[in-house]
Structure 1
Amino acid sequence: MPREITWNDSEEIGIQLQEKHPELDPLTVRFTDLHKYVKELEGFADDPTKSNESKLEAIQMAWYEEFKDASA
């Protein structure tokens, strides 16, 4: 069973989002969609209302780093 992840686990979330959505450029994803994608991740166990713009931005940037690495 995967460990539980929360909104603060931006690096782990970025890795999982890249694995789940390799075709998406994270910089084109709206925060409303990003919020939904994070909630759908296996192991996500945080309160959906505890996200905020800075947490979503950190997740988006972590995902973008993974996206760049995969594209290199």
Structure 2
Amino acid sequence: MDKRIFWLALGSFAISTEGFVISSLLPDIASDAGISVPLAGSLITAFALAYAIGAPVLATLTGEWDRRRVILWT
């Protein structure tokens, strides 16, 4: 298998796993932050929405740039 495909798949897996792990840790995060569980869930939802909106916008804006530099900057 091409090493680039392997690393791309591993990165996608890591990002996807993070999204599911955070939901199981939500009560602990809320108690550590001193906020309610629904508020912590709202904050995580806001982060996910910003990520979902920002990723395609940044991909469009940086589409013409050298990919290696974009990866290094992010």
Relative to the length of structure 2, the TM-score reads 0.31
Q: Which has the higher contact order (CA 8 A, sep 6+)?
A: 1
Structure having the higher helix fraction is 2
Relative to the length of structure 1, the TM-score reads 0.32
